[in-house]
Amino acid sequence: MKEQLQSIHQEAIEKIKKSDSAKHLQELKVAYLGKKGSITSVLRGMGKLSKEERPVIGDIANKVRESITHTIESKKDELDRHALEKKLEAESIDVTLPGRPVETGGPHLLTKIIEEIENLFIGMGYEVREGPEVETDYYNFEALNLPKNHPARDMQDTFYLTPDLLLRTHTSPVQARTMHKYGGQQPVRMICPGIVYRRDDDDATHSHQFTQIEGLYVDKNVRMSDLKGTLDVFAKKMFGEDREIRLRPSFFPFTEPSVEMDISCKVCRGEGCSVCKNTGWIEILGAGMVHPKVLSMAGYDPEIYTGFAFGMGPDRIAMLKYGVNDIRQFYMNDVRFLQQYHKA
Ligand code: DAH
């Protein structure tokens, strides 16, 4: 019986060592240690043994059981460890591999130009205001000294929504709105960026939708020289300290006198080239001293208050500054175009 147990032991250990799965180990466990297993069946013969032999064999049987149990456990641990190692190996990532680049967006070129201009004027004490894109005829025209049937309305082809509501053709209504709000009681120093609309056929230099920035400064003793100084600072900060400005007489119904401002051409330094159409100067904006009628309609006494106003197009400024030759590029949302200016 002792030999039988020993040979079962030997055979079991060998089989356990060769086993390669938890399932097989479990089968071996049942086959050797289970109720119907080989050890149990050997022990069934214990009854035939003498009193002295029984504890000896019992002891051996227990040791064999223990040894088999222990060997199965450690084999199981080994298999588990092995499986884990394999899994980790399969799932491992090489952190030194180059990653896939993440596409990031950036502000639109026009947004950048507008923010740059905003910051410049905020630095000179201006507040930034907004106004509605769907505007009344009153603020878009009448309050700016453009009564109904005034021929100067033709300067701005208009999208009318109703006889009295329209898509604003310029940001100038916001100067009227702001003056009306302050009601002649306090000075105004504001700029207003925004989108405007005109019934234009789109081409390289025209778009039915574009951006404008309006500026207004109303106070006691505001003079034309203040306008010129302000525009000079603006032009030099925006386009470079070496740029000159010049003011040419012009006409706008809401300013008197009215001017147009040009900056000296950077490409030819005043000699004349295709960018400045051989004049040496590039037109940038319209401006002037706020018309007395516009002041009084908003409640400001033109005998006490004076002011200047200007209106410019960030589209045009961006085109000049970055050499963009088609205004439609700003509105087509072609990322290949827009991306070029993310770091500009
Ligand atoms: N509103 C004018 C336009 O769209 C631009 C302009 C000219 C605005 C003179 C002004 C100004 O405030 O004083 O063409």
Query: Domain residues of the chain, as ranges?
Result: 2-90, 111-341
In the reported structure, the alpha carbon of residue 171 is separated from the centroid of ligand 1 by a whole-number distance in angstroms of 8
Joined together, the tokens standing for residue 52 give: 């002295």
Ligand 1 and 310: CB distance under 6 A: yes
Ligand 1 and 253: CB distance under 6 A: no
For residue 193, pLDDT over 80 is answered with yes
In the reported structure, the alpha carbon of residue 291 is separated from the centroid of ligand 1 by a whole-number distance in angstroms of 12
CA distance 2 to 120: 102
53-110, pLDDT tens digit by residue?
A: 888 888 888 888 898 889 888 889 888 898 898 888 888 888 899 989 888 888 999 9
CA distance 142 to 339: 42
**Which has the minimum average pLDDT: 26-40, 99-113, 125-139?**
26-40
In the reported structure, the alpha carbon of residue 203 is separated from the centroid of ligand 1 by a whole-number distance in angstroms of 22
- Residue identifier of the C-alpha nearest atom 6 of ligand 1: 311
- For residue 33, what pLDDT band results from cuts at 50, 70 and 90? confident
Mean pLDDT value across the chain: 92
Task: Give, in words, the CATH class of 111-341.
Answer: alpha beta
Q: Taking residues 291-306, what's their average pLDDT?
A: 97
Distances (CA, A) of 222 to 117, 227, 299: 21, 8, 17
- Residue identifier of the C-alpha nearest atom 8 of ligand 1: 311
CA distance 281 to 72: 95
Residue 280 has what pLDDT? 92
CB count in 10 Å sphere of residue 219: 16
CB burial class (10 A; 0-12, 13-18, 19+) of residue 236?
Answer: middle
| Reported pTM | 0.73
Contacts (Cβ under 8 Å, ≥6 apart) of 254: 144, 145, 146, 172, 175, 288, 290, 291, 294, 309
Closest CA to 79 of 146, 154, 24: 24
- Residue identifier of the C-alpha nearest atom 12 of ligand 1: 310
Could you identify the atom of ligand 1 that is nearest to the CA of residue 215?
Answer: 12
Chain centroid to Cα 263, Å, comes to 33
Ligand 1 and 173: CB distance under 6 A: no
